[in-house]
Amino acid sequence: MKIKKLFIFVAIFLAAVVSSQAQNAPDQTKDLDSLYAQKLLKPGTVAPDFILPMMNNYKVQLSEFKGKYVLLDFWATWCPDCRKDVPAVKELYDKYGSKVEFIGVSFDVDHNRWTKYVVDNGMKWRQVSELKKMRDAEISKAYGVEWIPSMTLIGPDGKVVLSTVVLERMAKALADIAK
């Protein structure tokens, strides 16, 4: 009987401790950028220019969009969080694509898998890739991408407006510039 009472006491104590920690924990979405976006380019930084091949082998150069807002969406087909975010990114594109140039930057290494995913999922904005792993891609080094999905919004002046791993923050920034 004593063991049963001790077990119940320990279970109640642990439940109280876990509940207390959950209530005192910071908002997780506020913390995600501090955990995963530390090396992303900071606002005000001049965005590095790049020339990357698109799925159809045409090339995209960032500087051709000077004077416009550009959203870089860093992702890959092998990334579960990236795949989960695709519908929300599509909504952002549908809503703001006439005011902001969207460029998906994939870290896939298999061209066929990448292009099939883009077509099958109706990702109508420009898609580019070096067809290199994230850690090996020059663009990930230039933009400080160590975690995906990540997004960088570049202003018409060529400077970073926002870099984040939190989709809701990017949605708010796009809503602010669309006013």
- The answer to whether 94 touches 62, Cβ cutoff 8 Å, is no
**pTM of this structure:** 0.82
Provide the residue type at 162 as one letter. L
**Would you state the pLDDT for residue 82?**
97
| Vertex 122: Cα angle to 114 and 142 (nearest 5) | 50
**Would you state the pLDDT for residue 3?**
63
Query: pLDDT tens track of the chain, all 179 residues?
Result: 566 554 454 445 444 444 444 444 445 545 788 888 889 999 999 999 999 999 888 899 999 999 999 999 999 999 999 999 999 999 999 999 999 999 999 999 999 999 999 999 999 999 999 999 999 999 999 999 999 999 999 999 999 999 999 999 999 999 999 88
Taking every pair of C-alpha atoms in the chain, what is the biggest distance, in angstroms?
A: 77
**Would you state the pLDDT for residue 14?**
45
- The answer to whether 74 touches 145, Cβ cutoff 8 Å, is yes
**Would you state the pLDDT for residue 56?**
85
The DSSP letter of residue 54 is B
Whole-angstrom Cα distance, residue 72 to residue 19? 39
- The answer to whether 169 touches 149, Cβ cutoff 8 Å, is no
**Would you state the pLDDT for residue 55?**
85
- The answer to whether 177 touches 100, Cβ cutoff 8 Å, is yes
Neighbouring-strand partners of residue 52: 60
Whole-angstrom Cα distance, residue 91 to residue 123? 10
**Would you state the pLDDT for residue 87?**
98
